[in-house]
Amino acid sequence: MLEDTAVGSKGEVVYVADPKLLSCSDAIPAFRQRACLTHALITSYGLHHKMRVVPSEAANEEDIRKFHSQDYVEFLQKDVPEEDEDKDAQDEFGLGFDCPFLDNLWGLVCGLVGGSLTAARELTSGRSKIALNWCGGWHHAQRDMASGFCYVNDIVLAVLHLRSAFPKVLYIDLDVHHGDGVENAYLFSPKVVTLSLHQREIGFYPTTGAVEDIGLGKGKFYTLNVPYKEGINDTQFIYLFESILYPLCEVFMPDAVVCQCGADALSQDPLGGGNLTLKAYTTCVTHVTNLSKPTLFLGGGGYNKSNTAKLWTAITATVLKCPVSTEIPEHQFFHWYGPDFELEVTAGLQKSSNTQESLDQTIKAVHGNIQKLAESLEQK
């Protein structure tokens, strides 16, 4: 059952949610109903009473142009009827199979960015220590094109805003897919460290994120990639995360943290290849909150919608230090959680392709990159 043990005062954790924001997230075909499922499950447990719920304020053109190119912004603003769509232009800007042209696309983009900017403002103002926006986390969008179900990169824009108050930001990506859009945005930046844990196999989207990719120019050594193989389990994932997070933070010492919690490394995700349960994520989230820095938690991938809702509800409870029953309360979407109706995601029988040796080799390589980062910082 719920226990009244939320972190500090109610204002310390802010939860960004409102009908318009949920509608924007649910408008993307691959994620229809996911945002509403998540919000309904969080409220069914009464967790919204433990947080300050803040409505999102939509972004404007000026906000979005702080990262995205003028040509791409102008394309997104076009209201193009289906029969008159410019196929060449759509191809140029990444609109196609995974990112179809949608009605009111510009309004959707402004809404999605607005959710994460609203959350970021809560942190920079000092009103909150932790902000949650499960409608954010679109980490594949590039400066001038959509990619991987992501039309706009709310993460890059949120980090930009955070840097107005927090000089050094650590970005952590737990999605099964490499956080390529965020990495590319900050490839040359010595103020943002991007740390991505992701599956990397031949042909597995987006195929980037090798451990040797460490940033460029002034941003060299500020990019850290932690690739793993198919079938990773809780023990292996937690081992990777714990082995890297704390050594990194001893060197970089961030002023704020952004953590993308894509749920597609969970067991049973149709587009992932991981075999994680909720425990892997909630353990990592606990380590992130233990850093005691202003922190923004975002959503991301997650194609088994009910499991994704379970995960983000479990993370919300973890952040609040508010244990919840494994029995899902009856609510509007209760039927989605049959036949067991429990807040658990069980691991499958899939054997992990990762070995202790392969994990240790990756950790050794990443530690070497962290050491180079330390040497770089000492020279400044």
Residues designated as active site: 140
**Strand pairing class (130-133; 295-298):** parallel
Choose among 159, 152, 160: nearest CA to 135: 152
Do 200 and 178 touch, CB atoms closer than 8 A?
A: yes
Can you tell me the distance from the alpha carbon of 180 to that of 56, in angstroms, rounded to the nearest whole number?
A: 26
Q: How many other CB atoms sit within 10 Å of the CB of residue 304? A: 20
Q: What angle, 0 to 180 degrees and rounded to 10, lies between the N-to-C axes of helices 305-320 and 34-44?
A: 40
User: Got the DSSP string for 153-204?
Assistant: -HHHHHHHHHTTT-S-EEEEE-SSS--HHHHHHTTT-SSEEEEEEEE--TT-
Q: Which two tokens stand for residue 174?
A: 């737990």
Residue 49 one-letter amino acid: H
Q: How many other CB atoms sit within 10 Å of the CB of residue 12? A: 17
CA distances from 324 to 127, 134, 135 (A): 26, 19, 22
